[in-house]
């Protein structure tokens, strides 16, 4: 009786210890992720302009920094926000469309150089982006697109194609080719097959591509720093950097307020694409 009673107890204790360990790790990661966000949010509501004396829970809450960003004539924040939204929306839409067509071609057709093209996509991912910065600078300067949002958009789109096309191509490979053959029998052409049959089934992976390419201009600093020169063309990452980079500036709290507002469009786009992600998965399961 004693031996039989010990085994269930030891198993239950083992499961309990495993659960405690799992929740401990989750709790630690949650604190590591949440603490900087709470600190930045708290600093943005501090009445002062510097980090000295700033508190995560301010004694006197203030919206002065947010008001300065939006209403002070010396602030270029709204211009930077507009520039970033233009770049992000353009890159997200055009890169997703270009990646979809490229992946469709590599997935559904056999042509000369196809295998070498796929190898080139993989090879391009092995080198850091910094290696191409000098060449990109010279290229944009040659074609007259330096210090231009158009030039920045083109570079982002070109950089998004290799890895994303390889990713979407793998998703297209999982879709049955019988769908294409049935559509061809009904007289459908290549573009009709892509837009009316494969594209709705590929909404999950295309939603991921669109989200990542929308986020990139908000987070990237290095490429805009090299391409853009005029303050009126700055993106948010580049403009906010000047808040803390200026030798005589002490605007860490304004920097925190501006950084917090970056999350708003990203969260909205994520919620919007999540609906398409779920509908695309359901559509793919039904039609597959």
CATH of the domain at 192: 1.10.3720.10
- What pLDDT is stored for residue 46 in this prediction? 81
Q: Could you tell me if 156 and 212 lie in one domain?
A: yes
Q: Could you tell me if 90 and 55 lie in one domain?
A: no
Q: Could you tell me if 136 and 279 lie in one domain?
A: yes
Q: Could you tell me if 96 and 227 lie in one domain?
A: yes
| Domains: count for the chain | 2
Once rounded to an integer, what is the mean pLDDT over residues 80-93?
Answer: 96
- Of 24, 42, 65, which residue constitutes the final position of a domain? 65
Which tens digit of pLDDT belongs to each residue from 157-195? 988 888 888 888 888 888 888 888 888 888 888 888 888
How open is the CA angle 233-234-238, to the nearest 5 degrees? 165
Q: Could you tell me if 112 and 204 lie in one domain?
A: yes
Once rounded to an integer, what is the mean pLDDT over residues 7-21?
Answer: 76
Q: How confident is the model at residue 246 (pLDDT cuts 50, 70, 90)?
A: low
Q: Could you tell me if 58 and 101 lie in one domain?
A: no
Question: Domain span at residue 39?
Answer: 2-65
Q: Say what the pTM is.
A: 0.83
Q: Could you tell me if 149 and 32 lie in one domain?
A: no
- Of 65, 89, 115, which residue constitutes the final position of a domain? 65
Please enumerate, as own/partner, the contacts of 233-242 that have beta carbons within 8 Å and a separation of 24 or more. 233/83, 233/147, 233/148, 233/149, 234/76, 234/79, 234/80, 234/83, 235/80, 235/83, 235/84, 235/87, 235/152, 236/80, 236/81, 236/83, 236/84, 236/262, 237/84, 238/80, 239/76, 239/77, 239/80, 240/80
Q: Could you tell me if 183 and 202 lie in one domain?
A: yes
Q: Two tokens at 277? A: 């992600």
- What pLDDT is stored for residue 83 in this prediction? 96
Q: Could you tell me if 242 and 126 lie in one domain?
A: yes
Residue of 230 and 131 predicted with greater confidence: 230
Residue 239 in any domain: the answer is yes
How many residues belong to the chain?
288
Is the model's pLDDT at 260 over the cut of 80?
Answer: yes
Which tens digit of pLDDT belongs to each residue from 104-114? 988 888 888 88
Is the model's pLDDT at 285 over the cut of 50?
Answer: no
- Of 46, 65, 84, which residue constitutes the final position of a domain? 65
Q: Could you tell me if 147 and 47 lie in one domain?
A: no
What is the percent of the chain with per-residue pLDDT over 90, rounded to a whole number?
Answer: 27
Is the model's pLDDT at 132 over the cut of 70?
Answer: yes
Residue 220 in any domain: the answer is yes
Which tens digit of pLDDT belongs to each residue from 43-63? 888 887 666 666 777 778 888
Once rounded to an integer, what is the mean pLDDT over residues 239-255?
Answer: 75
Once rounded to an integer, what is the mean pLDDT over residues 204-209?
Answer: 88
CB-CB neighbours of 125 under 10 Å = 10
Residue for token digits 């501006």?
258
- What pLDDT is stored for residue 224 in this prediction? 92
Is the model's pLDDT at 91 over the cut of 60?
Answer: yes
Judged by average pLDDT, the poorest of 9-13, 65-69, 201-205 is: 9-13
Is the model's pLDDT at 66 over the cut of 70?
Answer: yes
- What pLDDT is stored for residue 157 in this prediction? 93
Q: How confident is the model at residue 284 (pLDDT cuts 50, 70, 90)?
A: very low
Q: How confident is the model at residue 96 (pLDDT cuts 50, 70, 90)?
A: very high
Q: Could you tell me if 38 and 138 lie in one domain?
A: no
Is the model's pLDDT at 139 over the cut of 70?
Answer: yes
Q: Could you tell me if 193 and 234 lie in one domain?
A: yes
Is the model's pLDDT at 198 over the cut of 50?
Answer: yes
- What pLDDT is stored for residue 283 in this prediction? 41
Residue 70 in any domain: the answer is no
Residue 241 in any domain: the answer is yes
Task: State the Cα–Cα distance between residues 150 and 90, nearest whole angstrom.
Answer: 9
């Amino acid at each position: 009786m004693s031996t039989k009673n010990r085994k269930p107890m030891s198993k239950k204790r083992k499961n309990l210890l495993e659960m405690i360990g799992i929740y401990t790790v989750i709790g630690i990661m949650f604190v590591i992720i949440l603490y900087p966000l709470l600190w930045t949010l708290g600093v943005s509501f501090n009445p002062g302009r510097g980090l000295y004396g700033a508190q995560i829970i301010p004694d006197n809450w203030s919206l002065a920094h947010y008001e300065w960003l939006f209403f002070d004539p010396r602030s270029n924040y709204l211009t930077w926000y507009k520039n970033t939204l233009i770049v992000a929306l353009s890159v997200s839409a055009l890169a997703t469309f270009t990646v979809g067509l490229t992946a469709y071609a590599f997935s559904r057709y056999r042509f000369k150089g196809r295998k070498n093209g796929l190898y080139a996509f993989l090879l391009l991912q092995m080198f850091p982006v910094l290696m191409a910065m000098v060449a990109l600078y010279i290229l944009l300067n040659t074609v007259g697109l330096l210090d231009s949002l158009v030039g920045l958009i083109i570079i982002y789109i070109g950089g998004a194609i290799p890895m994303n096309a390889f990713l979407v191509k793998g998703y297209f490979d999982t879709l049955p080719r019988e769908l294409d053959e049935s559509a061809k029998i009904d007289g459908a052409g290549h573009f009709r097959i892509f837009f009316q049959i494969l594209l709705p089934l590929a909404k999950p992976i295309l939603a991921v591509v669109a989200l990542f390419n929308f986020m990139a201009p908000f987070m990237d600093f290095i490429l805009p720093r090299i391409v853009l020169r005029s303050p009126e063309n700055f993106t948010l990452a580049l403009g906010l950097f000047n808040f803390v980079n200026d030798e005589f500036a002490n605007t860490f709290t304004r920097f925190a307020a501006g950084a917090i507002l970056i999350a708003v469009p990203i969260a909205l786009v994520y919620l919007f694409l999540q609906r398409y992600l779920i509908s695309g998965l359901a559509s793919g399961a039904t039609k597959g």
